[in-house]
Amino acid sequence: MKILVPVKRVIDYNVKVRVKSDQSDVDLTNAKMSMNPFCEIAVEEAVRLKEKGVATEIIAVTVGPKACQEQIRNAMALGADRGIHVECESFPESLQVAKLLAKLVELEQPGLVIIGKQAIDSDNNQTGQMLAALTGMPQGTFASEVVVEGEHALVTREVDGGLQTLKLTLPAVVSTDLRLNEPRYAKLPDIMKAKRKPLDVKTADELGVDLTPRVTTLKVTPPPTREAGIKVNSVEELLSKLRDEAKVI
Amino acid sequence: MAVLVYAEHNNHQLKSETHKLVNAATKMGDTVHVLVAGANCAGVAAQASEIAGVAAVLVADNAVYEHQLAENTAELVHSLAGDYSHIIAAATTTGKNFMPRVAALLDVVQLSDVIAVESADTFVRPIYAGNAIATVQSSDPVKVITVRASAFDAAATGNSAPVSIVDAVFENKMSAFVREEVTKSDRPELTAANIIISGGRGMQDGEHFAMLERIADKLGAAVGASRAAVDAGFVPNDMQVGQTGKIVAPQLYIAVGISGAIQHLAGMKDSKVIVAINKDPEAAIFQVADYGLVADLFEALPEIEAGL
């Protein structure tokens, strides 16, 4: 079966973001960009399923500006067979991304879509669930284990209070949590080979999806800063501060 | 306009998030209804009817909702959506799972993890792991929202709202519950605790968390962990506080052997008082701590236990 893996280009998770002084957005000028960490886990899981003989082809998909092709090539270096880039000027809202992906699901008919549970820029945690709704597929969100058995996938999910296992009929959408796997690094020869793998570029118009935003960002501000605290010299002093000054114990 | 609040519960007990959601809901519209979807959950519905400000409780009590599978729950909420301007759920793993599905069925955008309500269509939410705060305005006819419960106070109790039955049964054939493994704990839940003591990589071993547990028991606190401690296998992952774990805002947060990575701070920096115990005086956690103690945790923790 085919596996479709959406990946997103985001600011590198180690970079400390700065808010623009006009409060319009965060400043991404010259910031290091990478593949969203949850998407790396999704690519890795797809590659492992191919190595086990479960998957026959892995298609990496991205939606966004031209620079996102870097992340598609990255996914190919890790093992994706081909790529689809839905090119648009900026990053659409998650509902629109889900609609674009739903069109690609219709075209490609994958047996499984593996997607990161959330992107570390917008922190939405929506696209996979929305895609499942739009395509009528079942969903296994926040997966820490995926076992494909014939027509079904057993997905163990990280939920508040423990773990939950679901049985999903394929095709299905699975979203990855951190402990699903440890992504591999791309090797230099694979990075070179990835440059020759096929990459198809489409537009939202071709796919018939309207990208008019529904949500307007009025402003983006830095979070309130905490007042500087004090260092105490002993446990005794700490406990007396907590009792008498902060009155929290 | 009316707001539908999806109750957070485990079929036996209404979770404290629901009281906070009701408070958030009163800032969005003038009528608040609570939906309890589950199996054998009449007791939960009775608890929900006691929350002040709730005008009505709807109960969908059927085996198909027992595990709150996204496919069934989303269809149920979608079927009720016509009467509401806002549909809100807690930003827990339950709410995060089915709410985007509701939004897509309604063809609207979802607003995730809302921390403040400016008006009926304007909301505040953190982005970039809490390193930026966005104020956003939705033009959609129905606002589908997950709420960060820890950002709101709980509504009072002392009400007796009418409870009505929802008969609709949505059962999909594509997903089925197989099993669950619930982490056993007698301590308060992380997201509801007034005091949390968390350990990080500095704890060195899962067995050393017993030192935190003894202190937690004296304080009536919950025990949390950083992602590093979870990834190292010291403790189960539902104890994780952070961007990718639980977001908490207790009265007192004690971080022990935690360096203070961005991802961890995103989960706890709205705590009222933060205490850091770390032997590295340069650790980032000291920049947000109200009280910092530079000390070896293996010496400091027994002293704290003795001093309580």
Q: Which two tokens stand for residue A85?
A: 């880039």
> What's the half-sphere exposure (Cβ side, CA atoms, 13 Å) at A28?
12
Region of B27 please: left (phi>0), alpha (psi -120 to 50) or beta: alpha
> Is B173 exposed, middle or buried, given 0-12, 13-18 or 19+ CB atoms closer than 10 A?
exposed
- Taking the C-alpha atoms of residue B144 and residue B105, their distance in angstroms, rounded to an integer, is 11
Report the pLDDT averaged over residues A25-50: 97
Q: Per the CB < 8 Å rule, is A179 touching B237? A: yes
Do B253 and A248 meet the contact criterion of CB atoms below 8 Å apart?
no
H or E stretch at B305: helix B297-307
Q: Is the pLDDT reported for residue A231 higher than 80?
A: yes
pLDDT tier, B220 (very low <50, low <70, confident <90, very high otherwise)? very high
Nearest by Cα to A16 from B112, B129, B260: B129
Q: Indicate the residue of A122, A138, A161 with minimum beta-carbon distance to B238.
A: A161
CB contacts of A124 in chain B (<8 Å) are 110, 112
Do A60 and A80 meet the contact criterion of CB atoms below 8 Å apart?
yes
Residues 6+ apart with CB under 8 A from A245: none
Give A23→chain B minimum CA distance, Å. 9
Q: Indicate the residue of B100, B122, B274 with minimum beta-carbon distance to A130.
A: B100
Q: Per the CB < 8 Å rule, is B290 touching A123? A: no
* pLDDT at position B285: 97
Phi first, then psi, for residue B77 (nearest 5°) are: -65, -40
**What number is the ipTM of this complex?**
0.95
Mutant choice from A21, A26, A123 vs B, greatest count of B C-beta within 10 A: A123
Q: Which two tokens stand for residue B38?
A: 């589950």
Do A117 and A141 meet the contact criterion of CB atoms below 8 Å apart?
yes
* pLDDT at position A221: 97
Nearest-5° angle of CA B7, CA B13, CA B18? 30
| Pairing relationship of beta strands B122-127 and B116-117 according to DSSP bridges | antiparallel
The residue in chain A having the minimum alpha-carbon distance to the alpha carbon of residue B297 is A235
The amino acid sitting at A51 is: E
The amino acid sitting at B263 is: Q
- Taking the C-alpha atoms of residue A245 and residue B196, their distance in angstroms, rounded to an integer, is 19
Condensed to tens digits (0 to 9), the pLDDT of residues A116-165 reads: 999 999 999 999 999 999 999 999 999 999 999 999 999 999 999 899 99
Q: What share of chain B is helix, strand, coil (3-state, %, to 5)?
A: 35, 30, 35
E strands present in chain B: 2-6, 31-38, 56-61, 86-90, 110-114, 116-117, 122-127, 132-138, 143-147, 163-165, 175-182, 195-199, 222-225, 252-256, 273-278, 291-294
To the nearest whole number, what is the mean pLDDT of chain A?
A: 96
pLDDT tier, A87 (very low <50, low <70, confident <90, very high otherwise)? very high
Q: Is the pLDDT reported for residue B247 higher than 80?
A: yes
Whether this prediction's pTM lies above 0.90 is answered by yes
> Is B233 exposed, middle or buried, given 0-12, 13-18 or 19+ CB atoms closer than 10 A?
exposed
The residue in chain B having the minimum alpha-carbon distance to the alpha carbon of residue A157 is B180
* pLDDT at position B185: 82
Least-confidence region, from B138-142, B188-192, B256-260: B188-192
Condensed to tens digits (0 to 9), the pLDDT of residues B78-131 reads: 999 999 999 999 999 999 999 999 999 999 999 999 999 999 999 999 999 999
- Taking the C-alpha atoms of residue A40 and residue B279, their distance in angstroms, rounded to an integer, is 34
* pLDDT at position A161: 86
pLDDT tier, A226 (very low <50, low <70, confident <90, very high otherwise)? confident
- Taking the C-alpha atoms of residue A110 and residue A35, their distance in angstroms, rounded to an integer, is 22
* pLDDT at position B265: 95
Residues 6+ apart with CB under 8 A from A52: none
User: Helix or strand or coil: residue B299?
Assistant: helix
Q: Taking a contact as any Cβ pair under 8 Å apart, which residues of chain B between 62 and 121 contact chain A?
A: 67, 69-71, 74, 92-94, 96-105, 107-113
* pLDDT at position B186: 86
Neighbours of B156 (CB within 10 A): 13
User: Helix or strand or coil: residue A168?
Assistant: strand
pLDDT tier, A227 (very low <50, low <70, confident <90, very high otherwise)? confident
> What's the half-sphere exposure (Cβ side, CA atoms, 13 Å) at A39?
28
Q: Which two tokens stand for residue B262?
A: 């961005």
Give A195→chain B minimum CA distance, Å. 31
Residues 6+ apart with CB under 8 A from A247: none
> Is A133 exposed, middle or buried, given 0-12, 13-18 or 19+ CB atoms closer than 10 A?
buried
Give A196→chain B minimum CA distance, Å. 34
Report the pLDDT averaged over residues A39-58: 98
